[in-house]
Structure 1
Amino acid sequence: MFNIYGPTKIEDKRKVWCEVTELALRLDLGKVVMAGDFNAILSVEDKRGGLRKPSKVAEDFMDFVTNCKVVDIIPKNGSFTWNNRRRDFRDIAERLDRFFVGEWWLLSHHSIYSTIEPQSGLDHYPISLNIGQDTEQHKNYFKFLSMWWQDPTLLSHIKSWWIESNVFFGSPSFKFTKRLQFIKRRLKDWNQTSFKNIFTEKARIEDELEAVNSLVMARGMTKVEFKAKKSLKNQYSEILRREELYWRDKEREHWVAEGDMNTKFSHASVKARKCANRICSIQDMNNS
């Protein structure tokens, strides 16, 4: 762990950054933690008031961060850690105090964030780094669903998300991992809006079909009912195709072969396997 106080003169800043980089490169960079008042900002977003334009100091500071292969931990409850405590247009605030961590902390199931603490009477706000075990590691694994290929816009969405995700700093492997996680979140959101819940949609279509059939039985087939029934049948065929793909993805043993029907046995086998895995996990915990 490095505790750094950055000098005010640019020549002295560069000297400190070079010394820290040389020391850091001798260590396991992935587990490095850097903290302190760096007396520099990375971008104009780290400043409010005064001259807000890119500077040579910010460029050199970014080079230092890139060379050390560390990641900036942005505070979860604020944007600035220093204020000149003046009023009106003379007020200037900057994020000079920060934490940097190596990739290992972010890729090893750790929950990590920084917090700006209540001011102690000085012009700097204290900051704290919080590291804990990431509870999200116990969530189900992400699975790419075959039914998503039914949407012809999928590839264009993935391309745009890949471009949008190019905002992370660190080594190529770290950036690649974070970009994949970014696309995974986008896919989940897109699935909710584009495909919704296939079982809810299936029930809705069945209810609407039943209502149209009731009208046909009561007053005969009119042009309105004919168009409605044709549209609903097309929707129903599409939802059945998506459901078929959904269950094929779920069944690890691939018991549903090409052309086989969706059966209650297939659905039950998926649920039974999940239940068995849960029981085995509980038994393993008891044995340990």
Structure 2
Amino acid sequence: MGNSGGLLCIWNKSCFIKQCVIEGSGFIGVSGECGKERKKCNVINVYAPCDRQRKVLLWEEIAGRVLEEGGCWLLAGDFNVVRNVSERKGKMRETQDIQDFNHFVESTKLIDVCLRYRKFTWYRPDGSSMSRLDRFLKSTEMSLLATDWVQEGVARSVSDHCAIILKARNTYWGPKPFRVMDAWQQHPDFRSFVDDKWKDLQVEGWATYKCKQKLKLMKDECKRWNKEVFGNVETRWGILSKEIEALDIKSEEIELDENEVLLRRECFQEMWEILRKREAMWKQKSRNNWIRLGDANTAFFHRCVHTRRAQNQFQVS
């Protein structure tokens, strides 16, 4: 834990059963049983220090656990070091840190999973340098749990790091549910828009079917209104993320000109504004008016939303 946050490990209890916690200076993890076969698995979340001596102690402590216990191991996080000079853009030469880290990976026989879509995962704000500091390392035994392992770099939004995701297979979770935002009701035209559209929609059939179909059509109308009138915050966030991602990828190959550097700065400024709007929307969802606007404790808002949603659910038999 630190002033700006800490390391967090979360898991799905239906897929992973925790047996114990693994802790050390610079890492935290869980050990338990994974999958239908209840195979023993160890997952460690790493945040390596900048100091070389402390890095060496971290590599030695983790290597001791991996070599002593064996089995399935997965290491993930910010290792604060690259494996070779090609994983960094900017002024750099071969350092002892690189040799220490490579020795750690080779001695533990961990596999560095292939990274897709991005070359680097950390970017200096001015774009003058970038590195691949974040990665997944897995043991050979971990490969037996699933096939086609790959890690993907995700758009970094306002952070200087890209999030990385480890995938074993492509999974389709089905269509996203549609819910009316409370913030929409604050718009002066929303209620009249709903009334007019509901009257205009004509559906033939028995009463229950007509109601179901009109609600389905209203969903599309509300989405269109949100995009054209209210302003789709998530859509704009995605557009800005893609613009920043495109500039990041371009800067990995060539230097950006002054206009492109200015454009990226402007995108970040707008994303911060959108981020504040998103926090306000979560506050509305939580229905906790006593919380001051601007509190970024979105985890609390999520819990409140899920609790209220569970209370509002009903079953039809």
Query: What's the TM-score bracket when you normalise by the shorter of the two chains?
Result: 0.3 to 0.5
Structure number with the bigger relative contact order (C-alpha 8 A, sep ≥ 6) is 1
- The TM-score normalised by the length of structure 2 is 0.39
TM-score, length-scaled by structure 1: 0.42
Larger Rg: 1
| Structure with more of its chain in helix, by fraction | 1
In proportion to residue count, which structure has more strand? 2
